[in-house]
Amino acid sequence: MKGARRIYLDNAATTRPTQLVVDRMAETQRDLFGNPSSPHAFGPPAKRALEDAREFLRGSLAAHRVVFTSGGSEADYLGIVGAAATRPPGRVLMGKADHPALLRCASLLGRYRHNVTELDVTDDGDIAPETLFDALGQDVRVVALMHGHNELGTIGKLEELVELTRRSAPDAHIHIDLVQTYGKLPFDFDTYDVDSVAVSGHKFHGPRGAGILALAADARVAALQEAGGQEQGMRGGTENVSGAVGLAVAAEETLTHQAATEAHTRDLCERVFDVLADAVPDLERLGHPSRKLPHILSVRLPGVAGATLMTRCDARGVAFSVGSACHAVADTNAKPTPKTKKGRGADTPDNHVLAAIGMGRKQASEVIRLSFSAETSVEDADEAADIVADEALRMLSSTPRPASSQRERSK
């Protein structure tokens, strides 16, 4: 495949940084290499670049303050565990289908004597308002919510869930994982009454290893890594100035073209889905039919092993995934997930998201996720759709076709 054209449809996992981001980061590394905390002449220029980036990102969310982190996972940890650490022992709520960055907070929360309650989710992977309402109480210290689901593409009912929390647990800290939606959908603290949000740069053509935790004015969050007291005492360690600059540059580029990119990626999703739906019998689209992220297409192809399909398409130059890239790490030491809904397969899949929405192991093995960006062309999407459909049909023709096992949906 050396020299062959490749089509990248795994933008929910990571995106390619733009040339401007790369150039600005390289300039920063070369010209602003001084430690931002140094009092001599090399320190202040680096400090100014860091604070300029912070101010832009703060303004983009109408946040009170911004803490730079190593990415979305650390921002989730700091927002959730840091908030719980300032409160007496109680409960922390999150969904069973949430990203591992949220769910893996449980062990650390236990050190602060907090218990995590994993809430059942709908067939679309989000928390139903009535489910959250039943779980809320005065002992709830933190509620963690995902704005957009990284595997299924469902957009949560954020306004309703936040309103319920404020009414039933007014002192609870509300943290939002904004990793898949920052720069793709409008969001700011003036619109949503939340306490903290997590953002990751490499999801919108920024650098890996750079993210932010944005905080509301009255948010109470304790530092988990004090060290030298950098980041207003919230995160010790010499600041990643080039990462902060790259993050701000990527944010500015992304937000400038947000509406156009949303329309573009939504169109690509529909084009690819139409091709696959015409080719593959009983194709099932996952996630909510209308509350869905513009750039994520998650489908189940009955009778087609997703991992095999991914490998075959990769050999023909098309890259996509069979789930979150974080699963490969998280599942190595994950405890078995109990069945959550009956009658949906003989056993429980390794993928906790698909287990949470009631899929059996075989059904879950037939799921793939394709995700798009502003860099994905119509030609790329059309060619990829044809290749995925062709390989799926080849696989189906080589194996006996079982009776349809289409999942029943209850919306």
Residue 390 lies in a domain: yes
Buried b (16+ CB within 10 A) or exposed e, 340-349: beeebbeebb
Number of domains within the chain: 2
pLDDT string in tens for the chain (411-residue length): 455 789 999 999 999 999 999 999 999 999 999 999 999 999 999 999 999 999 999 999 999 999 999 999 999 999 999 999 999 999 999 999 999 988 888 888 999 999 999 999 999 999 999 999 999 999 999 999 999 999 999 999 999 999 999 999 999 999 999 999 999 999 999 999 999 999 999 999 999 999 999 999 999 999 888 777 888 878 888 899 999 999 999 999 999 999 999 999 999 999 999 999 999 999 999 999 999 999 999 999 999 999 999 999 999 999 999 965 555 544 444 444 444 443 344 578 889 999 999 999 999 999 999 999 999 999 999 999 999 999 999 999 987 655 544 444 333
Query: Do 154 and 302 belong together in one domain?
Result: no
- Alpha carbon dihedral 253, 102, 152, 163, in 10-degree steps, equals -80
Query: Do 234 and 369 belong together in one domain?
Result: no
Residue 402 lies in a domain: no
Residue 63 lies in a domain: yes
Query: Do 301 and 387 belong together in one domain?
Result: yes
Residue 204 lies in a domain: yes
Give the sign of the dihedral formed by CA 166, CA 170, CA 172, CA 173: positive
Q: Which of 256, 289, 318 marks a domain boundary?
A: 256
DSSP readout, 140-182? Answer: EEEEEEESB-TTT-BBP-HHHHHHHHHHH-TT-EEEEE-TTTT
Query: Do 216 and 87 belong together in one domain?
Result: yes
Residue 294, domain extent: 7-15+258-397
Residue 306 lies in a domain: yes
